[in-house]
Amino acid sequence: MNFIVPKIQCGLAAIVVSAVIGLVDYDEAIFLWRVDKKDFLLWTITSITTLFFGIEVGVLVGVGVSLAFVIHESANPHIAVLGRLPGTTVYRNVKQYPEAYTYNGIVIVRIDAPIYFANTSYIKDRLREYEIDFVNSTSRCPEVERIYFVILEMAPVTYIDSSAVQALKDLYQEYKLRGIQIAISNPSPEVLLTLSRSGVVDLIGKEWYFVRVHDAVQVCLQRVQNLKGVSNGSSRAPTFSEDKPSLFERLLKQRGENLSITDLESGNGRPPPSNNDKASHLEPLLPKQQ
């Protein structure tokens, strides 16, 4: 009798294992591995936990790990440095589009997530890293030794809380002490209303809010040119008027005087087209194959 019970248990265990093996979706595991390693890791953790500790524990562990992934992604949002695509006024991630060029003295940053208390420190740290990367860059123009402007593309930002507002104020004051001006591009109506109510709009200045990134870049380029002119001994203070010729027309006429537009550019060194260029350009959906 003592020998029969273990044999019965072994037979039942074999039946259970055979039934469970058929329930495992190996094709789904391979698909998750190819598409997203984090989803594959979640699948693996949940499966192993369910196998050894039961369904209830496995489900709880799976939900907990999923929440941990969501919190991590929210606290570490994607931030991209933007550059201008040649022949267009479109600005895209320079890592996705290597042919996009940037401007020396100007950093354009896009924040691809809502800004709130959990990710404000991460965003500030990343902005400091971009500033350090520019100073240490070997491709920048030697006549532009530092950053003058930081443009924040806020189109993807759907929400900003009070902690983020205070962080933005602190960042503005920190930049102001180092002679760096913040410009904000294309904030949503809700975000703009929050910034207005909190006093950030008046703090930064209404003239530093723009509809497009390209508009902000034009103004910043003009200021960099004037700042460079003053540093070279120009006695006249820089003035700005909407009745003057367009920015690029003036810059192209000044080629060879002080700092030209090609000196401000990095990357491939291709100057932007003039305003009279009417050729149409298609924005690429995917980067070119290298």
Ordered DSSP codes for 24-61: --HHHHHHHHHH-HHHHHHHHHHHHHHHHH-HHHHHHH
Q: Domain ranges in the chain?
A: 20-75, 79-229
What is the reported pLDDT for 230? 52
pLDDT of residue 64: 94
Residue type, 276: N
Residue 110 β-bridge partners = 80, 153
Distances (CA, A) of 69 to 64, 121, 270, 278: 9, 18, 42, 47
pLDDT at 135: 63
Alpha helices by DSSP H, 84-212: 120-136, 162-177, 189-197, 200-204
pLDDT for the residue 2: 59
- Output the pLDDT for position 160: 94
Each residue's pLDDT tens digit, 75-106: 999 999 999 999 999 999 999 999 998 888 89
Rounded to whole angstroms, the Cα distance separating 246 from 208 reads 18
Question: Whole-angstrom Cα distance, residue 72 to residue 2?
Answer: 54
Provide the whole-model pTM: 0.70
Q: What is the pLDDT of residue 259?
A: 43
Q: How much is the pLDDT for 16?
A: 73
Residue 168: which of 137, 202, 141, 142 has the closest Cα? Answer: 202
User: Where do the DSSP E strands lie in the chain?
Assistant: 79-84, 91-93, 106-111, 149-153, 181-185, 209-210
Cβ neighbour number for residue 275 with a 10 Å cutoff: 12
Residue 107 β-bridge partners: 150
- What's the CATH fold of domain 79-229? Transcription Regulator spoIIAA (3.30.750)
Cα distance between residue 122 and residue 109, in whole Å: 14
* Residues in the chain where the model's pLDDT stays below 50: 138-143, 233-263, 266-290
Q: 128 to each of 147, 204, 267, how far by Cα in Å? A: 11, 19, 21
Position 232 scores a pLDDT of 53
Residue with tokens 């209303």: 193
Distance CA 213, CA 200 (A): 19
Tokens of 37: 């390693």
Distance between start and end Cα atoms, the chain: 73
